């Protein structure tokens, strides 16, 4: 059988996972979930093949047509390999789980796409270490995380050394899980996210001044009672 291409294509931002311990960690996290799996960026199947042994239906979304052909020949019948861009792929509407080693330069774009999707209920993602920390609110929440906290739980599980990839990237990775809440903490998503956007981008020093300048409070009221839960629980960061 021909050997897989060494490493990923630079123009596609491909850094393939080669560390068996990290692959085993992903398997354990996915095993906690149920239902069909959609894998983003399977590459040569380092994660796809171990996951396929569970018998669960897997749709592997790969942008590189050369690797699609190679992976199709290596996977069992419960795996469907699709040549598509994850940013344009039509995700299923039925409940499913997302798994992926995301291209580092597209992480935020893909996360924004996933968070706006309605079908999946859990995601196990390998992203840059700092992105994983920010999404989980470690050291302060970002605008993206705070905007979606009422609908998802974010958790960073482990740091993945750069040497776990081929080619070796310039930064470490991190294993991140996102789980959709059974009952959202906020009913009106549009109004809440507009409120959070004003908090993060508004002028002023401190939450009280920002809300006062935005017209949300009259300056005599305490900002604590009307602040978003995500901003009350952790120090907000404007990045």
Please give the Cα distance from 63 to 75 (Å, whole number): 17
- Domains belonging to the chain, first-starting first, are 10-180 (3.40.50.150), 189-233 (no CATH)
Contact 200, 176 (CB under 8 A): no
Taking Cα atoms as reference points, which of 50, 49, 77, 80 lies closest to residue 62? 80
Contact 136, 156 (CB under 8 A): yes
What pLDDT tens digit does each residue of the chain (239 aa) get? Answer: 334 434 444 444 579 999 999 999 999 999 999 999 999 999 999 999 999 999 999 999 999 999 999 999 999 999 999 999 999 999 999 999 999 999 999 999 999 999 999 999 999 999 999 999 999 888 777 889 989 999 999 999 999 999 999 999 999 999 999 999 999 999 999 999 988 888 887 665 555 555 555 555 545 544 445 455 444 444 444 33
At residue 140, the pLDDT reads 73
At residue 223, the pLDDT reads 46
At residue 92, the pLDDT reads 96
- In order, the DSSP letters of 127-185 are EEHHHHHHHTTTTSB-HHHHHHTTTEEEEEEEEE-GGGEES--SS-EEEEEEEE-SS-S
At residue 102, the pLDDT reads 95
DSSP 23: H
At residue 16, the pLDDT reads 94
Give the distance, in angstroms, between the CA of residue 121 and the centroid of all CA atoms in the same chain: 12
At residue 138, the pLDDT reads 85
**Residue keyed to tokens 């009259």:** 218
pTM for the whole thing? 0.82
- Secondary element (H or E) of residue 100: strand 96-101
At residue 213, the pLDDT reads 54
At residue 200, the pLDDT reads 82
């Amino acid at each position: 059988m021909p050997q897989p291409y060494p490493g990923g294509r630079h123009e596609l931002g491909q850094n393939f996972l080669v560390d068996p311990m990290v692959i085993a960690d992903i398997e354990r996290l996915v095993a906690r979930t149920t239902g069909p799996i959609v894998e983003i960026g399977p590459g040569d199947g380092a994660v796809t093949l171990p996951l396929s042994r569970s018998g669960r239906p897997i749709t592997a979304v790969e942008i590189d047509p050369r690797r699609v052909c190679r992976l199709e020949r290596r996977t069992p019948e419960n795996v469907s390999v699709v040549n598509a861009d994850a940013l344009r792929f039509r995700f299923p509407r039925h409940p499913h789980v997302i798994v992926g080693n995301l291209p580092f330069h597209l992480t935020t774009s893909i996360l924004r796409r996933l968070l706006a999707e309605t079908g999946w209920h859990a995601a196990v993602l390998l992203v840059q270490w700092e992105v994983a920390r920010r999404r989980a609110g470690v050291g302060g929440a970002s605008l993206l995380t705070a905007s979606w906290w009422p609908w998802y739980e974010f958790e960073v599980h482990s740091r993945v050394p750069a040497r776990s990839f081929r080619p070796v990237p310039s930064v470490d990775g991190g294993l991140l899980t996102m789980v959709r809440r059974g009952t959202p903490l906020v009913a009106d998503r549009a109004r809440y996210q507009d409120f959070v956007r004003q908090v993060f981008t508004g002028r002023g020093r401190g939450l009280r001044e920002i809300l006062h300048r935005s017209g949300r409070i009259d300056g005599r009221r305490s900002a604590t009672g009307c602040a978003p839960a995500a901003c009350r629980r952790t120090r907000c960061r404007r990045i």
